[in-house]
Structure 1
Amino acid sequence: MATRTQARESVIGLLYAYDLGNEGIAKFVDEILEEKKIRNKQKEFALELFNGVVENIEAIDEELISHLTQGGINDTGSVEKSILRLAIFEIMFKGLDKAIVINEAIELAKKLASDSAPKFINGLLDKVSKKA
Structure 2
Amino acid sequence: MTAPRHARSVARLAAVQALYQMEVSNAGVEAVIREFTEHRFDRDVEGMTLAAADEAFFAEIVRGVVAHQRQVDAAIVKRLAENWRLERLDATVRAILRAGVYELEHRAEIPTEVVIDEYVELAKSFFDGPEPGFVNGALDGVAQDVRA
Q: What TM-score, normalized to structure 2?
A: 0.80
Going from structure 1 to structure 2, the CA distance change for 1:17 and 1:31 (only over 3 Å counts) comes to: closer
- The aligned counterpart of 1:58 is 70
Counterpart pick for 1:4 among 8, 11, 19:
8
Q: How far does residue 93 in structure 1 lie from its aligned partner after superposition?
A: 1.1
Counterpart pick for 2:107 among 94, 97, 102:
94
Q: How does 1:51-130 map to 2 (within 5 A)?
A: 51-69=63-81, 71-95=84-108, 96-113=110-127, 115-130=129-144
Could you tell me how far apart the structure 1 residues matched to 2:35 and 2:145 are? 37
- The aligned counterpart of 1:34 is 38
2:41 and 2:53 in contact (8 A); partners too: no
Q: How far does residue 75 in structure 1 lie from its aligned partner after superposition?
A: 0.7
Could you tell me how far apart the structure 2 residues matched to 1:48 and 1:112 are? 23
Going from structure 1 to structure 2, the CA distance change for 1:103 and 1:51 (only over 3 Å counts) comes to: same
Could you tell me how far apart the structure 2 residues matched to 1:128 and 1:87 are? 9
Could you tell me how far apart the structure 2 residues matched to 1:50 and 1:57 are? 10
Tell me the percent identity: 26
Q: What TM-score, normalized to structure 1?
A: 0.89
Q: How far does residue 126 in structure 1 lie from its aligned partner after superposition?
A: 0.9
Post-superposition CA distance 1:38-76 (Å, at most 9, x none): 599711111111101110001000111111015210111
Return the letter of the residue paired with 2:40: K
1:7 and 1:42 in contact (8 A); partners too: yes
The runs of 5 or more residues in structure 2 that have no matched partner are: 43-50
RMSD, aligned CA: 2.2
Could you tell me how far apart the structure 1 residues matched to 2:111 and 2:102 are? 12
- The aligned counterpart of 1:45 is 57
Could you tell me how far apart the structure 1 residues matched to 2:35 and 2:27 are? 15
Q: How far does residue 21 in structure 1 lie from its aligned partner after superposition?
A: 4.6
- Aligned residue pairs, count: 132
Q: Which has the larger radius of gyration?
A: 2
